[in-house]
Structure 1
């Protein structure tokens, strides 16, 4: 870029030199070029750059008005789908024992509510089953005697045994009813899943001993998924909870999946200077899978703001420049402070007022013409010119 700027400067200086040389030799013998030439080529500092109507037509220069507009904002990002933490469940038991048989033995396999996960043998459960069976049997025998004290006491013991087995967990109500009837008193019992999802990970094998509270399986429901999308700190003020989001995945080109922002993390990552927004998707059809990357668009509600067309702005280094039309063919350069570009417009923070007219096309040509005239102006004051 520096080389190109240097070459462009040389070309402009060369053109200016040729023009001045022609003027000088046409008035040979004088030390100064003709006044008409100088007056035509030098840029008046106060009025700005003069461009004749013929030049405006030739350059295709148009003028527009700075005004308040409703600017619609779209913030683009990327994100990765993950399992929703509220739908992740770790399977553990409140007693120790042994795995006698595994049914859920392949990570990634689908699990349905009510499906067998594994069978276990536990001395604690086996004794609790026998106690419940005997307590219930005594209760039925006491009812036959019609002796109220025996009935109430046997019922209390029976209820306590039933409650104890319920508190152990992992045993359904139908299993408890079968135990009371003497149908289901067995050394090993089946443990069923109480949710549908996929088996994320298994931590045990058939025949393995497990302890109380040990994690045996991890299951995740996929009816809802989370996506963590990156947000730069400049865009944080526009992202709010419940903001609408549209995402496109490469697995489904042309198809848009809509979601909602449920949470914006209240801190930035120190190195990248970004934060993340959590987006929730309904996935009842099961089309989406954890680990998918998607192109995210945050749709921000339109806001009324003073703005200028992007084609009006000329970036000179780090400072944006616009040409304000001052009337009678004069265009005045003005540095402005702008916000982040949204579509075809820049929000105006400082430097312009509503109603002012600015160049909307041909800005670069006016700037080039102004640079040429400045070069000629500086050369006109040199000795011998």
Structure 2
């Protein structure tokens, strides 16, 4: 019991000493009569500037009204759907602004085409009777020929027999053409006419027929001539071979004017019109530019590639463009003056296009827009903006990410997760 009493007396004494020390410490910090002794603002290290009478200055005593006003505006902007980002943050992420303006737009359509001969300047050499090639004057693919130049000579028994019939018909007309019997004279004339017509059907020229009439000599072989001036791009004949009617012997193409067949995507077809000029270049020689024009837009679409054939026609000096070459085609289309913004200013969100309007003070408004023609760097705006609006043209994704993060945090706070 004695030991327990000693412990209680010691504890009471300790509490009394602690209370006395606390009172002494408070009297030192806050002298009696000082009205500020119960405020946090007047603790050491937190004194406010005072005037001569000892009262706080008005500028320090009143709250920061500008800051409060800015906070109110920011809160109002946030409630209206705007994104508020501090100016220092905007400068850090490199945000740039640009006014919306009306500017001339030029649509550039680029594609790759294949060089092919002009079908209107293509000729095939065939014969209409059977025979044997006696002599071959143009014997290699790639040879250049002129119109009327001899290609080969051919022997045909049918041709020899027809020549003989023609000479007999010619002799009969001379003998019987003045007959006193009209039927006989008419028959001799009709026989000569029919034989001449058969030679014409076999593509025997009038020059050969006149030579036959003049010399009265049947020729064993008949020369076949080139129908056009051009280049032999296919040859299927050899000297001494037998050929049948309709067999293709030569294909000759005039390559001074050629076609380039290119595929154009269906969404670019509205910009392509017949008669438009196009620049054609080769990948290994981009410095040489050939100027052509749109000659024809084919009426069908490839269901797999969703492209349509477009024919570009152009001159081919020195035959530099060869059939089956690949060529780059560039078509520039002036679409006129349109309300346009930079392509980088648009945030694609599914089927929606969004831009950020700058209202000053770090306030940014996301705005849905409807776009039209896209011309590389620029995009036409159909709805959602007007000329003079200031929009963000860089760091849009950073702003969008920050706004989405802020929205997520706010929604968490609304669920009691502040």
If the TM-score is normalised by the length of the shorter chain, which range does it land in? 0.7 to 0.9
Deviates more, 1:95-104 or 1:128-137: 128-137
Distance in 2 (alpha carbons) for counterparts of 1:67 and 1:284: 44
Residue 303 (structure 2) pairs with residue 278 (structure 1): no
Are 1:133 and 1:182, in contact at CA under 8 Å, matched by a contact in 2? no
Deviates more, 1:175-184 or 1:56-65: 56-65
Q: TM-score, normalised by structure 2?
A: 0.72
How far the C-alpha of 1:382 sits from its partner, in A, is 6.0
Residue 331 (structure 2) pairs with residue 293 (structure 1): no
Where do 1:124-273 residues align within 5 Å?
A: 124-136=158-170, 158-169=192-203, 171-182=204-215, 185-273=218-306
How many residue pairs get aligned? The number is 348
Deviates more, 1:230-239 or 1:124-133: 124-133
Which one of the candidate residues 67, 84, 97 is aligned to 1:63? 97
| Residue 5 (structure 1) aligns with | none
Which one of the candidate residues 120, 140, 148 is aligned to 2:154? 120
How far the C-alpha of 1:246 sits from its partner, in A, is 0.9
How far the C-alpha of 1:57 sits from its partner, in A, is 4.6
How far the C-alpha of 1:209 sits from its partner, in A, is 2.8
How well do the aligned residues superpose, as a CA RMSD in angstroms? 3.4
Are 1:223 and 1:283, in contact at CA under 8 Å, matched by a contact in 2? yes
How far the C-alpha of 1:84 sits from its partner, in A, is 1.9
Are 2:167 and 2:216, in contact at CA under 8 Å, matched by a contact in 1? no
Is there any run of 5+ residues in structure 2 with no aligned partner, and where?
Answer: 1-66
Distance in 2 (alpha carbons) for counterparts of 1:119 and 1:284: 32
Corresponding residue SS for 2:375: coil
Residue 154 (structure 2) pairs with residue 102 (structure 1): no
How far the C-alpha of 1:125 sits from its partner, in A, is 1.7
When Rg is computed on C-alpha atoms for both structures, the one with the higher figure is 2
Is there any run of 5+ residues in structure 1 with no aligned partner, and where?
Answer: 1-34
Deviates more, 1:295-304 or 1:107-116: 107-116
Where do 1:306-325 residues align within 5 Å?
A: 306-316=339-349, 319-325=352-358
Query: Using CA pairs below 8 Å that are at least 6 residues apart, which structure has the higher relative contact order?
Result: 1
**CA offsets 1:64-86 (integer angstroms, 9 cap, x no match):** 33343321010111111112222
Deviates more, 1:364-373 or 1:193-202: 364-373
Distance in 2 (alpha carbons) for counterparts of 1:174 and 1:251: 49
Distance in 2 (alpha carbons) for counterparts of 1:363 and 1:280: 44
| Residue 334 (structure 1) aligns with | 367
Are 1:175 and 1:184, in contact at CA under 8 Å, matched by a contact in 2? no
1:69–1:317 distance in 2 versus 1, CA, 3 Å:
same
Are 1:323 and 1:332, in contact at CA under 8 Å, matched by a contact in 2? yes
Which one of the candidate residues 59, 66, 80 is aligned to 1:46? 80
